[in-house]
Structure 1
Amino acid sequence: MARLTPLSRERCLDLLASVPVGRVVFTMRALPAIRPVNHLVDGDTIVIRSNLGTGLASSATADGAVVVAYEADVIDLERRTGWTVVVTGAARLVLDEERLNRYEGQLQPWVDDTMNCVIGIDCDLVTGYELGRAG
């Protein structure tokens, strides 16, 4: 039997930074939408790249008017162990030239599509759990 153990905020952000891919959850036409994306963690911000024509990028603004969730995990199906982290926060376009250039250099898109904007997601609410063997 397995046990779920809550993780600290610091441990959650460390785990999130240890993997290159997660899923962003946002609202598109009043319905939940989920997209897999590659990311990086910069302090208390998750950084992703997107296309200004997509649902998330067209909703995100410089003042952080759109709230999203971001989730990443690693699960070992054979051992039934792993972890999951969920971050909820405001998503906004990164407009600062210095940060924009740095993020564009560090975060290369995995898909063959135009990624003409960078989105920062504030880590306002951070929760996570480790799935481990009991005893």
Structure 2
Amino acid sequence: MYANDGFRELDRQECLRLLAKVPVGRVVFTRKALPAVLPVNFCLDRDGAVLLRTSAFSRMASAIDGAVVAFEADRVDAAAHAGWSVVVTGAATVVTDPAEHARLLLAGPLSWAPAPQEVFVRIDAELVTGRELVGGRSLYSVPFTT
């Protein structure tokens, strides 16, 4: 990154604070050897892990269980040319411990598309990076000439 490129790097605590303010992010994983991205609602666990709730039979849950994935969330203000983006990278696992599952039933995210049998997926926050656009400008701020 260049010193004056308009972006500010965010530390881990800032990233987690910002993630806690938005309800939707995107899981990036590999499906059939190709990149896949799915929007999901989520919440953060006590240690900063990303928690998802999905159908026990979802293709996403089976594809990411045991895999390293990325999770991205952001907030953008197009009018102000400002915003931030945070990426969490880590191992994803389906929660199988009954006590942990019971705790997450109370503290975890609610599913926006409830299913008869649901599981929680935990993405460990092994690497947390983020940046904020602080010097946004409009491409149209330069006078148009013909």
TM-score computed with the length of structure 2 as normaliser: 0.81
Q: Give runs of aligned pairs for residues 1-135 of structure 1, distance below 5 A.
A: 3-42=6-45, 43-61=47-65, 65-106=66-107, 107-114=109-116, 116-133=118-135
* Conserved 8 A contact 1:2-1:132: no
Does the 8 A contact of 2:55 with 2:114 survive in 1? Answer: no
Query: AA paired with 2:75?
Result: V
* Runs (4+) off by over 3 Å: 112-115
- Unpaired runs of 5+ in structure 1? none
Structure 1 vs Structure 2 CA RMSD = 1.9
User: Number of residues paired by the alignment?
Assistant: 131
Aligned residue for 1:58, secondary structure, equals helix
**Distance in 2 between residues matched to 1:17 and 1:114, nearest whole Å:** 27
Are the counterparts in 2 of residues 87 and 123 from structure 1 also a CA contact under 8 Å? yes
Contact 1:4–1:131 (CA under 8 A) maintained in structure 2 = yes
Q: Give 1:58 shift.
A: 1.1
Whether contact under 8 Å (1:16, 1:85) holds in the other structure is yes
Within 2, Cα distance between the matches of 1:7 and 1:46? Answer: 18
TM-score, length-normalised on structure 1?
Answer: 0.87
Q: Is the CA contact (8 Å cut-off) linking 1:89 and 1:124 kept in structure 2?
A: yes
Q: Give the distance between the partners of 1:58 and 1:34, measured in 2 at CA.
A: 14
Larger displacement relative to structure 2 (46-55 or 5-14) = 46-55
Q: Equivalent pairs: percent with the same residue?
A: 42
C-alpha separation in 2, matches of 1:115 and 1:126: 31
Task: Kindly provide the amino acid, as one letter, of the partner of residue 96 in structure 1.
Answer: D
> What is the distance in 2 between the residues matched to 1:50 and 1:83?
26
Q: CA deviation at 1:56?
A: 2.4
Higher strand share: 1
In the TM superposition, residue 95 of structure 1 has moved relative to its aligned partner by: 1.5
